[in-house]
Structure formats: C-alpha cells, structure tokens
Structure 1
Amino acid sequence: MSAIPMAKITPSTASGGRSNLSRKQKAAIIVRFLLNEGADLELTELSEAQQSDLTYLMGEMGYIDRETLGEVLMEFAHELESIGLSFPNGISGALNVLEGKISPLTAARLRKEAGVRVAGQPWQRIKALPIDELVELLSSESIEVSAVLISKLAVDKAATLLSRLPGDKARRITYAMSMTDQIGPEAVDRIGLTLACQIDDRPIRAFNEGPENRLGEILNNSTSATRDDILESLEQTDAEFAVKVRKTIFTYAHIHKRLKKLDVPAVLRDIDQNDLITALGYATNGDLGETSNFLLENISVRLADQLREGVEDRGAVRLAEAEPAMAEITKTVRSLVDLGDIELIVPEDEDA
C-alpha cells in the first residue's frame, strides 16, 4: 500500500459532528484506524508538537464504539471529498512540487532568497544518493559521522561504499561503527540534517555526469583509431584523468571480461545476424578474439555453428565494415545495462 501523506489527516481536517470529540481526538482515531488497516502513514511529516499530541492522545483514549468510529470516518471522508485542489504551504513546499519542472538555477536562487532548504526526510535523501556522491560526501567527513551514515544504508549499498573508500579509512569507519550503539536518535537526526544541508549547499553542475563519463561515452562511439589516439594524447597531458576515462570505456574487446555468460543470449537475441557475422569474422585476435570465442561458447550449439558457417562464407572483413558491427553489439549491451535487464561484472581494479 502506498504511503498516505499526513497533511490530509492533521487535526484541522476533523471538525463538527455529533460526538463530543475534539478535532485532535478525531485525527487520532483516523490514524489508529488507518494503521489497523495496514496503511503506510508518513507521520514524520507532522511537526514534533503534532507527533507528541498524537502519541499522548492514542495512549489516553481507551476505546471507541462502532457508531462513533463510523461517524468520524464519514466526516473525514466528506472533508476529503470537498477538497478540490491543495497547494503546498510556503516557498519550500512550492519548490518541492515544482522540482524538475523549473530550472535548477532558478530553484537554487529562490531557495537562497527565501532561506529555505530542500524539504523531506534527510536520511531518505542521503540513502538515495548514488555511490559516487556518497564517496564524495564522506571524503570530508569525520570517521564518526561516516560510521553513522554507513550504518543507515542498506547492507549491500554500505558494502559497496566501503569497498570504494581508501582501505585505512574503511577500517577506521568499521571500528567506529562499534561505538554507534551509544548514539541517540536525536543525534542521528542532527547528523542527517547536517549532511542534507551539505548536499543542498553544493554548487549546481551544468552536467549530470562527470567529465570522464561524458568523454568515455563519446569514445565508446568513436572508431578505434580515434579512441586510441585521444587516449594516448590524454595520457601525456593528464595521466590521472586518462586513467578515469579508460575505466569508463566499454568496447567489443571488453565484453568477455565484463558480460556474464548467462546474459550472452539476451544480448545477441536482438542483433542482426549479418552484424554478428561481420564482427566475428574480423575479431579473431587478442581481446577481440577472446570476446568472439566467449560469445560463441555461450549460445546454443546450433546457433554457434550457423554463425561459424556464416563467418566462413563471408570471408575477409575490413576494419571499416567491422567497427559498426562491433559497435552495435556493445551498444546493445550498454542499453540492456541502462534498462536494468543485465549487470556487468565490475573489474577488481575498479574496487580499489
């Protein structure tokens, strides 16, 4: 069941009725009923005072008879039906509604002018950050704060994040996690708010991806001669950046190292057989040859024999013919990865 926004069941929504219940008591009845029905209520969206009032009321009210319950629920339903349109309260709420609809620069300027930050639960926002941004966030944080952050993440994401940190820092963080059991919930909330504020204060970037990813994507779609020439030149001018770019490169030569055997049929299923034969006919040596053998060994024997016969009938293949065919295969792999249908194997040297 999807989460129900608590803005619709705050005390102000319950009024009138034949019973002598206050609006706050009626709101508590609605919350109790919805929780009984298995609703996922975002109670954290209420103010701290409202959360306290709700807790005290639920502890004091005892029981409610069916007639009163029905009356309160009917009144609540009537209130909801009478609402035609609801607008957010304040500039912060308006900015959250318009997020992604107005330009990031305009949104940032309005937040700065109004003195507001992005609303929402800070830990939810932090947990949703990609690994690269979490690594960047922890680069300037203390070991203790880092230990709290990693403790809040899902196990698999926490493990991945630790593997991306320098070994010494990762070891100190894991040791500091042994002391997090003494931290109270208020301190954890403050840490979350502080980290969220740092996210908000980061300058807006013109590009969603880093320069190495953008250049890597361009080189993935370039000819091998162009790619090799640019990488060689880049290594002479900026060796560190060249290493980052090389890690983003994914070509036909990398398929046998990165693609899982079980995913080969899914990749080749939608590729034109002429492209397959052309790529296999050219790619016979080195890493290119390793990929060709890998593909043939992980499909049905009948299809592999058909492709080998096609390669033999095709004869010699020129580079100008082979490159578009090999690019089509790697493009298909990347598309399936982007769709989430397959996952590539991460090389060990990228974990360091």
Structure 2
Amino acid sequence: MNNALFQPIQLGKLSLNNRIVMPPMTRSRSTQPGNVPNEMMAEYYAQRASAGLIVTEGTQISVMGQGYAWTPGIYSAEQIAGWQKVTKAVHAQNGTIFAQLWHVGRVSHPDNIGGQQPISSSALKAENVKVFVDNGNEPGFVDVVVAREMTKADIQHVIGEYRQAALNAIEAGFDGIELHAANGYLINQFIDSEANNRTDEYGGSIENRLRFLGEVVAAMTQAIGADRVGVRLAPFTSLNGTVDATPIDTYIAAAVLLNSLNVVYIHVAEVDWDDAPETPTVFKDTVRDVYKGVLIYAGRYNGENGSQAIDAGVADMIGFGRPFVSNPDLVNRIKHNYPLASHNPETLFGGAERGYTDYPEYSPS
C-alpha cells in the first residue's frame, strides 16, 4: 500500500522523512523546583524521534505563563540547559523537534504563578475550569480565578516574552517553535469572541481580536525567521471556556493573517472526543485556498484516514496524539499495520518512568 504518510516533505529548510507528527502533550515530568527539563524527558522524546516532526509539550514562556504544576519552562538558564539535553537526544536519533511556546493566561491559579493574579484579554473567569497545583501541602485540582485584564503595557511585555522564548528555543537546539494559540490559553482568549470583551484595538472585530496573535507571530518571526515558526489553532473546540461566535469566519481570517506572515505551518487541533462533529469541509477547503504553507491536522486520525487526508490535498501532515504515549515506535507500527498498545491514563501526568519511558516497541512474534 502506498501510504501518503511516508512521503518525505519539506518544512521550510528542513527535510522530513515522513508526514507523521507527534503533537504537544502535557506530561508534567519536569524537575522541581524550577520546572527544568531533564534526562527522563530527553529519553522520552528520543524514543519517539522516528516521527517526521515532534512538537514538545507546552513550555511556559514566563512564570506568569504557567497553568499547571510541574510543566517545563523555557525562560531560565537552567531550563534552556535542560532542553538542550532533549534536543541533543532527539537529533542523535535523526529527529526534528519544535518547542511549543505556551502562555496560559487565565487558565491558572495564584499557587502556580508566585501568588499573582492571572492575566488575560479581559477580566473574566474561565467557568468550570480547574488546574493542577502543588502548593506544598497536597497536590490537586483547584478552580481557576478571575483574571486581570491586560493593559497595553502588559501586552507589549508578553510579546517581548514570546520573542525571547523563541530565541531561547533556538539556543536550546530546537529546529523551530510552535506558538500555542489554541485550547483556551492566552492567545485564544484574545481570538475568541466570548472570552474577549475589550473595547480597544485588541477587542471587538475579528481583525482586532487577531491583532495580538499577529503581533506575537511578527515578533517571533523577526527574531528567528518565519521558516522556523508554526502556529497551533483550535477553531471549533470550547476547551477551557473559550468559544467564538463565528469560528469559520474568525479562523479563516487567522489563516489569511498567518499566510501574510509566512509562518512555516498551521497546526489545526480538531475536536477529538468520540461523538464530536467533523470539522466543516468548507473550512478545510478554504484554509487550503488561503494558506500556502504546510497544513497539519490532529484529531481522530489513524494510518488510513490520515493518508487519505494527505492524498485529498486537505492536509500535508497528520498529528497522532495519545497513540504516541504508549507506542514510542508508532511510525513503524503504522507502516507495518502492527497493533497499537493502549496507554495507562493513571500515569499521563506527573510521576516518573512508569507510563512514560517504559512502553516497549512492538516485537513481531
């Protein structure tokens, strides 16, 4: 069978061996204190380096950018040195790895950000959203709090943090970065109409709500080159309380904007629960028309429908999330139609090697 997932592809100046993407997945294994990437994380990513492209778990760009306990950062010298272990291990296996840069905005709690109040586009609370904290007593989930509306000075400051994080990622040895503009986090809180009630140039119209996204991307591409910057969007999810009134119009406009900024890829996170609606065909077709870079889709894909999406011209690469948790050799399993192992949900977040680096490769009997 001629599976399109195994065709090589050019991503900017990078030549990738296949079109399989390991997308970002929070695993909360960084070393404490300091949220520092470690040798265990290096082994985990190196085990999965046969993917055409790895995108790391979200890594916060600042203290204020952190939403959950034990997630790694990319703003301190120790964190950059930790990520260097990861990139070195992946490159030793001939892999390609981008860092996902993350600011959670209002999806946080003072216990995770040094006692400060979270910031967002608007002074709103993400309803029915909890985050994981480790406040020194008993780690566990707590409700998020009402955010503080960002001032113009705050906006410029955070744009600077994103720019510096992109430079830090290159210093850490990454091949590029992915801006996390999805799943209800800070940039998504500006984009989606129901999370943004600003009345200045960052709120109201679609153009205004996309302004922060555009300014962040422009700062990062100016710092490290557009051929090393990708962006993740989630047009039709309502994760962490962000909802847009006109998602097709809003996110097609986002694709037009990102095309004008020459980002190397757009990574669309589709809704992936069992009975979720399909992403509208008109959206996929229009994005393909208006955006000329590499298009990645991640959601309910397997080897067969992923290959079909590429053959149909809808996607250029396909992300496989949870299957990569328990199948470090997922690329080989898809290639040979080997069965997939199931992951242990109890060991997804936090802990040590169990349920992280101890999943075996498939051995044909």
Structure that is richer in helix per residue: 1
Q: Which has the larger radius of gyration?
A: 1
TM-score (norm 2): 0.21
TM-score (norm 1): 0.22
